Amino acid sequence: MTLAAQDLSIGVRLYDVSLALETGKITAICGPNGAGKSTLLKAFAGLLQAHAGAVNLDDSSLATLHPRERAKRIGYLPQAHEIAWDIPVRSLVELGRMAHGDTRAEPVDAAIAALNIEPLQDRRAQSLSGGETARVLLARVLAGEPAWILADEPLAALDIGHQLALLRHLRAAADQGAGVVLVLHDLAHAMNYADRVIVLSDGRLAADGEPEAALDVSTLQSVWKVDAQWIGADGKRALIAR
Amino acid sequence: MNRAVLLFGLLLAIALPLSLLAGRVWLWPDATPNAAIILAELRLPRALLAVIVGAGLGAAGAAMQGYLRNPLADPGLFGIAPGAALGAVVALWFGYTASAWLLPLFALLGAGGAMALLAAIAGRTGGIALFTLAGLMVASLAGALTALAISMAPNAFAMSEIVLWLNGALTDRSWREVLLAAPLVGLGVLLLWRTGKSLDALTLGEPVARSLGVNTGALLWMLIAGIGLTVGASVAVAGIIGFVGLIVPHLVRPLTDSRPSQLILPSALAGALLVLLADSAVRVLPFVTELRLGIALSLLGAPFFLWLLIRMRRGLE
């Protein structure tokens, strides 16, 4: 299964981007502020209209796919943790089933179990801490059993413990066959946890490949304008200024 | 079905027959002369109209708060009530009230005009901020035109008619108004009830709702139609009755799990109950001329709202 952008241009945010995503992997989208990361993710989620080019899910154009069909296959987690009403946590997770038109217990229970939030089930959404909210909202996405999980900076505003836990959950989802696409600001997380890194700069594709190659020192220099170097062993890299 | 529906349904079933007895003259079916006629022709249609108007306003308020994700939203924000009021004021201005159908018809036309204007401005993009601003502008335009009509009233009688009518009331209503409002409000409440699932998804924000398959454009159209029908029909038969759409969802929300979909039907029932009780109260109060229902509910609503704000402030401290 593929989710692919073809010559995609959106407003002043994205120019002529072509790339195909793959399932079973974690793909990180990186780039400086304003590079078009969230725009690209929203376009992959089918939430933005392309001004030129298209996004295709398998063989069909995302723009012509019925919203419910699209919603069954693509789960989207925005950066903002907006929960307007103090609804029960379980009802919130069940919203993930909306496109399927049911609230079947099995996938909802599975999503709750996958994120270890059983103890939160009977709580109300607005009583949760930031870390708990992040896990509940991800469970909402998993409950829909989508083939694609697109998350916009899911680690922002989380402490290191919750960051690593959430990355573990996302890795588990990828291992089970989902295509996981994350906008990440923390380049060390992208380096250590992603299978593939896409670097955007001023709305254009600047690098695309395995983390070591896509985030090499010369890309850091040319895209982020920083003089930095990677230290540490494989999978435990850290970025420090030079 | 949730417990709030049961509770308010039960209370309404008790209050409706009791309200028929209440009035300037307490009615005892076996003792009062002409009791059957008074009940059938005066009090029953008036009570049913209170139920219909209250149900429409309550449901509209619940849907409106769900859509704007704001507990302070009121269906009046949409500009539909002022639009309907303007229509009615035009009818009064020209003295069209000679025919009993014309005033409600003009009010419905006014509501329809406000709805069309809203849809034309905000209906394509479906953005909430644009939509709210459009509603506020429609409301102030209709308000300004109403003020213009009052200031240029052809005679003192028309002016007093207009001013009196603007403070809604259910005095001297008949089965005609019931038959007019019932199908419109019924259809409107049905439309609003159908938006429930989408409003639940909107709890997580507009992008998430769209990613879950909600067609936000269609949702907006359904809300405009639902609120236009309920509020437009209510104003057409009863004038402006404020605060019901604002207060009722607040009273009902703690009895539900706070999901917007769970709030719409109980708010309709609680709105019906509130307007029925308020209308019974204004009938019983010993004033020379009956206190207008719209004024009574505002007198009740504004202090309630202040209390709500004080409580919210305490919660923040």
pLDDT band at B131 (very low <50, low <70, confident <90, very high): confident
pLDDT for A21 beyond 90: yes
Q: By the 8 A CB rule, do A129 and A93 touch?
A: no
Q: For the domain B3-316, what is the CATH superfamily, name and number?
A: ABC transporter involved in vitamin B12 uptake, BtuC (1.10.3470.10)
The mean-pLDDT minimum among B6-10, B58-62, B299-303 falls in: B299-303
Q: Spell out which residues of chain B touch residue A88, defining contact as CB-CB under 8 Å.
A: 257
Domain boundary assignment for chain A = 2-241
H-helix or E-strand spanning residue A237: none
Q: Does residue B124 carry a pLDDT above 80?
A: no
pLDDT exceeds cutoff 90 at B75: no
Of A10, A33, A8, A9, residue with least CA distance to A21: A8
Q: Which of B208, B215, B252 should we substitute to test contact with A (largest number of A Cβ atoms within 10 Å)?
A: B208
Task: State whether the Cα torsion A162-A165-A171-A172 is positive or negative.
Answer: negative
Q: What are phi and psi of A186, to 5 degrees?
A: -80, 105
Residues of A in contact with B64 (CB under 8 A): none
What pLDDT, on the 0 to 100 scale, is given for residue B253?
92
For B208, the closest of A72, A78, A85 (CB atoms) is: A78
- The confidence band for B91, taking pLDDT boundaries of 50, 70 and 90, is confident
> CB distance from B40 to chain A under 8 Å?
no
Looking at residue A104, what is its pLDDT? 92
Question: Is residue B53 within 8 Å of B240, Cβ to Cβ?
Answer: no
Q: What's the mean pLDDT in A191-207?
A: 96
**How far, in Å, CA of A96 to CA of A92, rounded?**
8
Q: Which fold has domain A2-241?
A: Rossmann fold (3.40.50)
Nearest to B260 by CA among B189, B206, B190, B203: B203
Instruction: Quick: pLDDT tens for B210-225.
Output: 999 999 888 988 988 9
pLDDT per residue over B170-209, tens digit each? 888 889 889 999 999 999 999 999 999 999 999 999 999 9
Cα(B275)–Cα(B240) distance, rounded to whole angstroms? Answer: 12
Mean pLDDT over the full length of chain B = 87
Encoded tokens for A4? 């692919």
- What pTM does this model have? 0.90
Predicted confidence band of residue A54 (pLDDT cuts 50, 70, 90): very high
Tell me which of A85-89, A174-178, B114-118 is least confident: B114-118
Closest chain B residue to A42, measured at CA: B207
Q: Residues 168-227, chain B: which have Cβ within 8 Å of A?
A: 197, 200-205, 207-208, 210-215
Q: What is the pLDDT of residue B49?
A: 95
Write out the H or E segment, with its range, that includes residue A26. Answer: strand A26-30
Residues of A in contact with B260 (CB under 8 A): 85
**Least confident segment among A122-131, A219-228, B68-77, B209-218:** B68-77
Distance CA A17, CA A3 (A): 13
SS3 per-residue string spanning chain B = CCHHHHHHHHHHHHHHHHHHHCCCCCCCCCCCCCHHHHHHHHHHHHHHHHHHHHHHHHHHHHHHHHHHCCCCCCHHHHCHHHHHHHHHHHHHHCCHHHCCCHHHHHHHHHHHHHHHHHHHHHCCCCCHHHHHHHHHHHHHHHHHHHHHHHHCCCCHHHHHHHHHHHECCCCCCCHHHHHHHHHHHHHHHHHHHHCHHHHHHHCCCHHHHHHCCCCHHHHHHHHHHHHHHHHHHHHHHHCECCCHHHHHHHHHHHHCCCCHHHCHHHHHHHHHHHHHHHHHHHHHCCCCCCCCHHHHHHHHHHHHHHHHHHHHHHHHC
For residue A125, the 8-state DSSP code is G
pLDDT band at B279 (very low <50, low <70, confident <90, very high): very high
Dist. CA B41–CA A56, nearest whole Å: 65
The full set of domain ranges for chain B reads: 3-316
For residue B243, give the nearest of B61, B33, B93 by alpha carbon: B61
Q: Is the pLDDT of residue B14 over 90?
A: yes
Residue A242 scores a pLDDT above 70: yes
Q: What is the ipTM for the molecules in this complex?
A: 0.92
CB contact under 8 A, B259 and A91: yes
* pLDDT of residue A158 exceeding 90: no
pLDDT for residue B216: 87
- Is the per-residue pLDDT at B29 higher than 90? no
| pLDDT of B316 | 61
* Candidate from B203, B211, B257 with C-beta closest to A71: B211
Grouping H, G, I as helix, E, B as strand and the rest as coil, residue A71 is helix
**Which residues in chain B touch residue A151, judged by CB atoms under 8 angstroms apart?**
none
Give the per-residue pLDDT at A168: 93
pLDDT band at B248 (very low <50, low <70, confident <90, very high): very high
Q: Please tell me which of the candidates A45, A91, A137 has its beta carbon nearest to residue B257.
A: A91
pLDDT value of position B80: 87
Nearest-5° angle of CA B25, CA B30, CA B34? 60
- Contact of B215 with A69, CB cutoff 8 Å: no
